[in-house]
Structure 1
Amino acid sequence: MKPAGLKNKDNYSNDPAEALEQLMDSYGTIVLRTAFFYMGDRHLAEDISQEVFLRAYRNWPSFRGESTVKTWLTTITVNVCRDKMGVRMFTEQPTDPSRVDHGRTISVEEEALRRMEKSEVLQHVLRLPLPYQEALYLYYYMDFSTSEIAKMTSSPEGTVRNRLYRAREALAREMKKGEETSSDRLGS
Structure 2
Amino acid sequence: MAEDRSQRPDPEMIPQLLDTYGDRLLRLCTLYLRDIHLAEDALQDTMLRAWRARDTFRGDSGAATWITHIAVNVCRDYLRSPWKRRRAPAEELDTLFAPADDPQVDDTLPHAVMSLSRPLREVVILYYYQELKAREIADMLHLPISTVTARLSRAREQLRHTLKGWYYDEE
Normalised-by-shorter TM-score class: 0.7 to 0.9
The answer to whether residue 10 in structure 2 is matched with residue 10 in structure 1 is no
Paired residue for 1:23? 17
Unaligned runs of 5+ in 2: none
Distance verdict in 2 for CA 1:178–1:127, change over 3 Å: farther
**TM-score w.r.t. length of structure 2:** 0.78
Paired residue for 1:147? 135
Paired residue for 1:165? 153
Q: Secondary structure at the match of 1:143?
A: coil
Paired residue for 2:126? 138
From 67, 79, 82, the equivalent of 1:85 is 79
Instruction: Map Cα deviations across residues 32-89 of structure 1 (whole Å, 9 max, x no partner).
Output: 1111111122221111111101111111122011011111111101101101111789
- Aligned-partner Cα distance in 1 for 2:55–2:154: 39
Instruction: Map Cα deviations across residues 124-182 of structure 1 (whole Å, 9 max, x no partner).
Output: 22222221111111111111011110111121110000001111111111111768xxx
Q: Let me know the Cα RMSD of the aligned residues.
A: 3.1
Paired AA for residue 136 in structure 1: V
Paired AA for residue 169 in structure 1: E
- Aligned-partner Cα distance in 2 for 1:130–1:90: 13
1:1-150 equivalences under 5 Å are 10=6, 15-16=10-11, 18-86=12-80, 92=87, 111=95, 114=98, 116=100, 119-150=107-138
- Aligned-partner Cα distance in 1 for 2:72–2:49: 13
- Aligned-partner Cα distance in 2 for 1:36–1:27: 14
